[in-house]
Amino acid sequence: MVEWVTLHTGPRPVPRPVATPLVWAGAFAGAPLLVALVNTLSGPHGHGPALAALSLLAAVLGGCARFAAAPGTALLCWLFLNGFGIPPAGTLSWAGPRDTVWLGCLLGAALVGTTVSRLAHARAAYHRLTATAGWDDPGHGRLR
């Protein structure tokens, strides 16, 4: 026997974040493309634009991820920035203060993207819940 069920029963929950390995795969695929694009446009000495582009990528990827994915996303972006964004290409190095700032910037961007996304989703879910509660209870939505 076929039972018909309504697809939208009640308020929609907050969307679930994307799995962490998928976010890291996006960073692994997107970071080299961005570094190559920035190196093509501004030359191999364009550290600032490359860091800005990778920070934007980390923030966008953080928008659909869990908080636990932020350190790995920042590390992957930093590896491509350090390995291919600064000369000599293909050589990883550690320059204490510079790389610490870069890692902090990338981690901060990923965390800001995740925080903004979680807050936006929670706010939207709250508004959906209060809007449905207002229609069920006639006295709920009145101004006093």
Q: 7-10 long-range CB contacts below 8 Å, 24 or more apart?
A: 10/132
Alpha helices in the chain (DSSP H): 20-42, 47-62, 70-84, 96-136
Rounded-to-integer distance, Cα 77 and Cα 83, Å: 10
Most confident of 12-21, 47-56, 124-133: 47-56
State the pLDDT confidence band at 56, using cuts at 50, 70 and 90.
very high
pTM of the model: 0.79
Q: Looking at residue 131, what is its pLDDT?
A: 58
DSSP state of 87: S
pLDDT, mean over the chain? 85
DSSP state of 86: S
Q: Looking at residue 127, what is its pLDDT?
A: 77
State the pLDDT confidence band at 25, using cuts at 50, 70 and 90.
very high
Which token pair is 106? 């990338």
